[in-house]
Structures are given as structure tokens and as C-alpha cells.
Amino acid sequence: MKSRTEYLEFNTGKRVDFINITDDVEEAVRKSGVREGFCLVNAMHITASVFINDAEEGLLQDFAKWLEALAPHEPTTRYEHNLTGEVNGDAHIKRTVMGREVVVAITRGELDFGPWEQIYYGEFDGRRPKRVLVKIIGE
Ligand code: ZN
């Protein structure tokens, strides 16, 4: 069995941001040499997500608006979590809704996506260094 582990690093300029990481993950799969297997991609922070959806700008804005309506950043006093001194109660909720990780099958050396599927990093408490784990196993 072959395996490869990579860490992608992010430090977004905005508090909330979505970054298409499909090319980075495809590159990791190429480097792994795996032809048949699985690729796990997960956010390593509890205020960031990895998810799969369409690379369409309007949809990304819709996600941001919907998440902000669901868990507004302000007023920060609305979150029990913020009594700890942090102000990211909303970001924890947004991360949980959007998910921690994705697993994509590798078939004949390529990520075996459905139509329009792209892998995104979702940041909900940015402006600091964060990592995403890419773990590939197979043969
Ligand atoms: Zn927190």
C-alpha cells in the first residue's frame, strides 16, 4: 500500500472566506502515485471546514449569507462560548454546519468527482495561520 500525507497552510485576509483547494489536492494525488484508493481532506481547526460543492461565485456568496443569518458574528454577547474571552462562537457553529472533512475516491490516478464537484476550504475565523490535512492511501 502507498500513502502520502500533506499539510496545506492558510492565513486568510478576511474573517470568513472560501478557497478552492481542488488543484492542491489533485497535485498531492499525483505525487502519491496512488492509482486506486482514497483521499481524505480535513480542516485541522474547529473554526474552519472542508466541503465539496460548485465553484460558482454566487453560490459561495449564498453560503456566506446563509451562515451569517444562521449564526451571526455580532452581537458577540449572544454566544455562551464567547464568555471564555474568545469572540468566535459563530465560527464554531458555521464550521460544524459546513463539515470537517471530505473523502474522495481515487480511480485510475484521478479524484473521482461527480459533475461540478470541487473541494473548498471554508474559513470562519481567519487572519491567523491554519492547516488542512491531506491523507492519501491506496495502491
Ligand atoms: Zn472558540
Q: Mean pLDDT over residues 21-44, rounded?
A: 98
We report the CATH number of the domain holding residue 17 as: 2.60.120.460
Segment (H or E) for 94 = helix 89-98
pLDDT for 93: 98
pLDDT for 112: 98
pLDDT for 107: 98
Cα–Cα distance for residue pair 42/51, rounded to 1 Å: 9
Where on the phi/psi map is residue 32: left (φ > 0), alpha (ψ -120 to 50), or beta? alpha
Span between the terminal Cα atoms of the chain, in Å: 5
CA of 128 to the centre of ligand 1 (A): 13
In the structure, what pLDDT confidence band is assigned to residue 66 with cuts at 50, 70 and 90? very high
CA of 89 to the centre of ligand 1 (A): 6
CA of 35 to the centre of ligand 1 (A): 39
CA of 131 to the centre of ligand 1 (A): 16
Locate 126 and state its grid cell.
481567519
Give the dihedral of Cα atoms 4, 121, 27, 55; nearest 10 deg.
150
Q: Mean pLDDT over residues 24-36, rounded?
A: 98
Locate 53 and state its grid cell.
460543492
Report the number of distinct structural domains present in the chain.
1
Q: What is the pLDDT of residues 81-136, one digit of tens each?
A: 999 999 999 999 999 999 999 999 999 999 999 999 999 999 999 999 999 999 99
pLDDT for 132: 98
The CA distances from residue 42 to 23, 85, 116, in Å, are: 15, 27, 20
For residue 104, what are the domain limits?
A: 2-138
What mean pLDDT, rounded, does the chain reach?
98
The CA distances from residue 38 to 1, 29, 62, in Å, are: 12, 9, 30
Contact 100, 11 (CB under 8 A): no
CA of 85 to the centre of ligand 1 (A): 9
SS3 51: strand
CA of 87 to the centre of ligand 1 (A): 7
CA of 32 to the centre of ligand 1 (A): 35
